Amino acid sequence: MNLPLVMGIETSCDDTSVALVDQSGYVVGLKSAHQNAAHRPFGGVVPEVASRQHTENLLPLVDDLMNETGTGWGDVGAVAVTSRPGLIGSLLVGVVTAKTIALLKHKKLIGVNHIEGHLVAPLLRDSDYQPPDGFDFPYVGLAVSGGHTHLFRVEGPGRLHLLGRTVDDAAGEAFDKLAKMLRLGFPGGVFVDQTARTGNPKAYRFPRGMMHEKHLNFSFSGLKTAAQREIATLSPEQLEFAKADLCASYQEAIVEVLLYKLDKAMTAMRLKNVTISGGVSANSALRERATEWARAQGYTLALPPLKYCTDNAAMIAEAGVLHSQAGHFADQELSPSARALDGDFLST
Ligand code: KG4
Ligand code: ZN
- For 250-281, the pLDDT digits (tens) are 999 999 999 999 999 999 999 999 999 999 99
pLDDT confidence bin for 284, thresholds 50/70/90: very high
Nearest listed ligand to the Cα of residue 308: 1
Any alpha helices (H) in 171-312, and if so which ranges?
A: 171-181, 189-196, 221-232, 236-269, 284-297, 306-309
Nearest listed ligand to the Cα of residue 278: 1
Q: What is the C-alpha separation between 272 and 286, in angstroms, rounded?
A: 19
Mean pLDDT of 128-141: 97
Mean pLDDT of 72-91: 97
183-221 per-position pLDDT tens digit: 998 889 999 999 999 999 999 999 999 888 889 999 999
Q: What is the C-alpha separation between 70 and 41, in angstroms, rounded?
A: 38
Work out the angle at residue 150's Cα, subtended by the Cα atoms of residues 145 and 152, and round it to the nearest 5 degrees. Answer: 130
Quote the ligand 1 centre to 181 CA distance (angstroms): 17
Q: So what's the pLDDT on residue 3?
A: 64
> Residues 264, 270, 274, 278: what is their CA dihedral angle, to the nearest 10 degrees?
-50
**Signed CA dihedral, 142, 143, 149, 152: sign only:** negative
236-269 vs 221-232: helix axis angle to the nearest 10? Answer: 160
Pairing of the two strands 139-144 and 108-113: unpaired
Q: What is the C-alpha separation between 182 and 114, in angstroms, rounded?
A: 30
pTM of this structure: 0.94
The count of other CB atoms within 10 Å of the CB of residue 332 is: 10
Q: Please report the atom of ligand 1 found closest to the CA of residue 187.
A: 14
142-169 per-position pLDDT tens digit: 999 998 999 999 999 999 999 999 999 9
Q: What is the C-alpha separation between 282 and 113, in angstroms, rounded?
A: 21
Q: What is the mean pLDDT of the chain?
A: 95
Identity at 304, one-letter amino acid code: P
Mean pLDDT of 24-34: 96
Quote the ligand 1 centre to 146 CA distance (angstroms): 5
Percent of the chain exceeding pLDDT 90 equals 90
Quote the ligand 2 centre to 45 CA distance (angstroms): 13
Q: Residue 118 pLDDT > 60, yes or no?
A: yes
Closest-CA residue, ligand 1 atom 22, reads 189
Q: Are 228 and 181 in contact (CB under 8 A)?
A: yes
> Residues 226, 231, 233, 238: what is their CA dihedral angle, to the nearest 10 degrees?
140
Q: So what's the pLDDT on residue 312?
A: 97
Q: Please report the atom of ligand 1 found closest to the CA of residue 310.
A: 3
Q: Are 26 and 61 in contact (CB under 8 A)?
A: no
Give ligand 1 pocket residues (Cβ under 6 A): 13, 145-147, 172, 175-176, 187-190, 193, 278-280, 282-283, 310-311
Nearest listed ligand to the Cα of residue 14: 1
Q: Please report the atom of ligand 1 found closest to the CA of residue 284.
A: 26
Quote the ligand 2 centre to 84 CA distance (angstroms): 11
Percent of the chain exceeding pLDDT 70 equals 99
Q: So what's the pLDDT on residue 1?
A: 43
R_g of the chain computed on alpha carbons: 20
Quote the ligand 1 centre to 3 CA distance (angstroms): 33
